[in-house]
Each structure stands twice: as C-alpha cells, then as structure tokens.
Amino acid sequence: MVIHIIPIGFDTEHVEEGLKEIIPVEKVYLLHSKNGKAGEFKGLTEAKKLKQYLESHFGPIFLEEINAFEISSIYLKIQEIVKKELKTRDGGVLIKSDFAVGITGGTNPMACGAIIGATLEGVDAYYVRNRNFEPNREFYAEKLPLPSKAMMLRVQGLQLEILKKLSKGSYEDYKGNVIGGMMKRTKLIEKLDVSPNTLNSAIRVLKTKELVKQYDEDMVRKIKEGPFGKPEYYDEMQKFVRYEITEHGKYQVQRDSTITTEEIKNITK
C-alpha cells in the first residue's frame, strides 16, 4: 500500500495519472497553498475541489497547507507526514516504497522541496510526464533514482577501493558483450589482494548503501565435440558471483576524485 504526498498548484491533471500507476493507493496527502487575495490563485479552494473528486476513486485524501514559495515549508511538511505515518505502524519501520512523493505540480520551490524531502526521509519520489506531449507512452509516472540515506554517507578505505576497481573494470558475457563497471568476484579479490571474508564484509555494506549490485549466476557458452568431430556450442547457467557498480557508486568515485574547497585553500596558502 502506497501513501502519496503530492504538492499541487494550478495544474492538477498529473495527480490522477500518478495515482493510477503507483498503486495500490492507501491514502493521499495534497500539499497546497492557502487562498490568495482577490484575483489571485485560490490554493485551498482548488485543493478542496480536487479532494472531493479524488476521494471517490482513490480513498482518503488529506489536505496539508504549505508555503508555495518556501522550500523548507515543503520538505518539513513531508518529514512531518512520514513520521506521523510511521507511528501508526508496528515498530515504526520505514519501507521506502510505502511512500511516494510527487514532484510535478506547483511552484519550482515546491518541486525542489519535494525532492529534498523525499531524499532526506529516504522514500520514493516520482515525476509524471505530460500525456499531451507524449501520447503513446505505456507509463507516465517515472520514479526518480534518488540516493538512499546510507548512500549519502561518504565511503572510504576498502569500500572506496572496491568502487574504484569496479568503475574501471569490465566483464565479458557469454555472447562476447563487454559490460563496463562489472567484475567477477574472483578477479576483484585478485585485484584488491584481500581475503574473501574481508571482501564479503565490505560488499555487504556497499550493497546496503545501494552502491553495488550482486549477481550470483550467469549464462556461459561451452563447447563440446559433435558428430564427425565438429565442435558444437551450447549455453549453460552456472553459479558464480559478480559485482556491478551502480550510478550512485560511480558518483561516490567521482566525488572522491573532485578537489574540495578546503584542499583549494591549502594549495593557495
């Protein structure tokens, strides 16, 4: 069940699109501005209209007022909602996919605040593409590859060395395709000159931080002697571990190689 948190503004067509695709919907929080003066946008009035329409299709809808031009107002509201919802769960365990923060509607500060809020709380965020511009898409709600909270912590030592080796490494599959950023476990151990147990411990942490993916088997192409001594090829699934660096892992490597402001100060002293 998914709890949607959606900032809304003048255009709200995207709201229903996202609710139809990211399912099953448990409840929806609409983040809206207050009513403006005469002639200005009536944020609360429009939010009430949308609430009335959505409730007949998607269950309970809750209205939450925010400042549409204050980024912190949005991400603090998202934090408040997530914490409140977690209190109703056994043990208050956060499952990332139980929440979905929309970033499509409202002002630019609302979109910025929504992304920051989703990132800080470690939950999913999504953008709804415009059906009028892309009428033939199968899906319109696109989840964003936000970094996890754990990934945001800087890695160092052996963990960083693993990422560096993977970023420069490659793996050739059974069809001869070379995949960059991937290596067999045995090759990685050889490159790092560490024990299997030491590597396992570091990889476990990197997987938790969503910096590395692990694959435990793959197809291999083998050869045998066929009729009249002619070679025959056949494919067979075999178990062997290989690791792949994720986009977030590549970012960690790039961040480590980037000179910091403090380092610049030291150089120019």
Name all domains of the chain by residue range, CATH numbers in brackets.
2-143 (3.40.50.10770), 157-256 (1.10.10.10)
Whole-angstrom Cα distance, residue 123 to residue 115? 10
What does the pLDDT profile of the chain (269 residues) look like in tens digits? 999 999 999 999 999 999 999 999 999 999 999 998 878 899 999 999 999 999 989 989 999 999 999 999 999 999 999 999 988 876 667 788 899 999 999 999 999 999 999 998 889 999 999 988 998 899 999 999 887 766 666 788 899 999 999 999 999 988 888 999 999 999 999 999 999 999 999 999 999 888 999 999 888 878 777 777 777 777 888 888 999 999 888 878 876 665 444 543 443 33
- Supply the pLDDT for residue 247: 83
- Supply the pLDDT for residue 26: 94
Helix axis angle for 196-208 and 157-168, nearest 10°, is: 90
Classify 256 in phi/psi space as left (phi over 0), alpha (psi -120 to 50) or beta: alpha
